Amino acid sequence: MAEFELDTDRLDDAALAILSLTLHDVKRVWKGIDWEITDRLHVKGLIHDPSGKAKSLTLTDEGLARAGDALAAMFAKR
């Protein structure tokens, strides 16, 4: 997918920022992405229905393209 070098420091910071959205009990965060986020992604047509017991999500074609664009825009080394 990526034809560029990723800035893993920026990726790590983004992951921490996303994890912090689920902060509870002072320092604990949930392993997965907040359900409100997955619901919004589904409404936008970027992932298929996130409800159910599966621990993974399925991107739509539009979601896959947008994910690649966002990855390059936010995390490609400059």
d(CA 12, CA 52): 28
Measured N-to-C along each axis, helices 61-75 and 8-20 cross at an angle, to the nearest 10 degrees, of: 120
pLDDT digits 0-9 by tens, 10-46: 999 998 888 888 888 989 988 888 888 999 999 999 9
Query: What three-state secondary structure class fits 71?
Result: helix
Give pLDDT tens digits for 40-58: 999 999 999 998 888 889 9
pTM over 0.85: no
